[in-house]
A and B are shown apart, each in its own frame.
Chain A
């Protein structure tokens, strides 16, 4: 019990009496109910419902085109729900803007733009600084601390297009830290990210989760899912499963996501004999 409390006291909180930050803890960081998203008549997400956090590290898994990115974009208000509802810290996605830090897919970033890592992290302070104003000392301190947390302080003056894929992701996560967002979403975060950067990122994600932040990561990588994330959300347009990684990512759920012969990924599955389908959300 001590172990669980140490790691995820916030997750256990809804059952217990909230303490000092009680109000914040009582409201789910992300609350999605019967979310359906259609593009030109074709379903991208079909009746997805789940709650997460605060204080959770969620992986969003599924094949290409399974709606992972659509879900991420709906959570930040970039894609309107066709039906269903989304609450972010109890607010609509548009009202919650600024409370979520979002790391977009890399093809949506203009890498040609000549900007230093430090200045990207400072972008996280844009709203706090305010229109027509320059960063103050506090902003610079927060940026410096954010860079240090992802071990990028030595590359602060490098232009982002000079950085490796993993270093770029670390800079974007640092921007989320500088934003002091309570929720961080990473869309396709780990593709092309080197092992060192992955270690750094997961260490930071773990720390953030322990601070009560909610992190959701869209990923293709089913290896080590159970070691790295608290919960997984399995998508294939519909929600195939949601819950703790080990009990959710069963052969049956994998088959729903990846089709009839998921043999090529079977060896990543923890406890392959389990029968719990994890549909209870």
Chain B
């Protein structure tokens, strides 16, 4: 018994593990909360694309010597807005537009990274996440972002729900649905930026959709879905953190495996009819 408790407690004698725990928890909570919209509005591809498309921002942040956040936040917001504008302007379907921007910006980020000498970051850490490496400053930025996004989601809750359920009805009732859609995408971009530290560019999608989908199968209403998915996401993040620490794994795959492990048994026994 003592050894189990020691195994759970020991890692947190290291300062980096306390920081990693705080960031993992915030990622584990924020991703599924906004992920509840991603799942119910079919935005999974958008989420995946946004996470890849912020690569140039992350790398740029390292290159200039500022925080990767400082690079990724404006790029994430710009891409979120750009997708809407490009698909409206060109008449090319939205998923194609997303695909083009996603691939192009990801390629730009990769190129910047391979051509940049002497920046203190591995490609693997960006792609797969390395929550054990977060700095104290990262913790504060993550806390601030998470608080801001949660506040915005709470303030816009009834409008976002209306626009998600019945976009035309909401427009006719006088809601600014286009602005609400953009607001949701910007919030999604911000959550993705904070999540990339823990799960990496490639696996953000897992934290966005997997806990939210698990919760969708288990509870009825939208707020219960958000709450349960946040709990499941936090569990996956902490479980993944331990796996990462003890088995020296990148944190993204570890957290994703735990989240998937929670989803599969639920999916095996629960079925939601619509």
Contacts and interface: CB of A to CB of B under 8 A. Distances in A.
Given A98-B174, A127-B173, A129-B158, A110 B40 contact: yes
B168 A104 contact: yes
B166 A101 contact: no
A232 B92 CA distance: 40
Contacts of B167: 108, 110
Interface in A88-113: 97-98, 100-104, 108-113
Contacts, number: 89
A214 to B, nearest CB: 15
A115 B222 contact: yes
A97 B165 contact: no
B166 A108 contact: yes
Contacts of A108: 166-168
Contact of B168 (A78, A112, A119, A132): A78
A102 B172 contact: yes
B186 interface: no
Nearest to B165: A113
Contacts of B158: 122-123, 126, 129
Which of A77, A98, A103, A113 has the most chain B CB within a 10 Å cutoff? A113
B268 interface: no
B102 interface: no
A111 to B, nearest CB: 6
B170 interface: yes
A179 interface: yes
B172 A113 contact: no
A13 interface: no
Contacts of B174: 97-98, 127
Contacts of A104: 166, 168-169
A123 B222 contact: no
A124 B173 contact: yes
Contact of A113 (B164, B173, B175): B164
A69 B274 CA distance: 25
Contacts of B173: 97-98, 101-102, 123-124, 126-127, 179
Interface in B126-168: 155-156, 158-159, 161-162, 164-168
Interface residues of B, number: 27
Contacts of B216: 114
A66 to B, nearest CB: 20
B115 interface: no
Contacts of A101: 172-173
A260 B167 CA distance: 39
A110 B221 contact: no
A4 interface: no
Contact of B40 (A112, A123, A126): A112
A113 B168 contact: no
Nearest to A125: B158
Nearest to B273: A161
A112 B274 contact: yes
Interface in B241-274: 273-274
Which of B159, B171, B173, B216 has the most chain A CB within a 10 Å cutoff? B173
A102 B165 CA distance: 14
A207 B159 CA distance: 30
Contact of A100 (B159, B166, B172, B221): B172
B25 interface: no
14 contacts: A78-B172, A97-B173, A101-B172, A110-B41, A110-B164, A110-B165, A111-B274, A113-B40, A113-B41, A122-B158, A126-B159, A126-B175, A127-B174, A159-B220
Instruction: List the 5 closest pairs (A to B, CB-CB), nearest first.
Output: A102-B172, A97-B174, A98-B174, A113-B165, A104-B168
Given A77-B172, A108-B168, 16 more contacts: A97-B172, A101-B172, A109-B165, A109-B169, A113-B165, A113-B222, A115-B221, A119-B161, A120-B165, A122-B158, A123-B162, A123-B166, A123-B170, A127-B173, A159-B221, A161-B273
Interface of B: 40-41, 155-156, 158-159, 161-162, 164-175, 216, 220-222, 225, 273-274
Interface of A: 76-78, 97-98, 100-104, 108-116, 119-120, 122-124, 126-127, 129, 131-132, 159, 161, 172, 175, 179
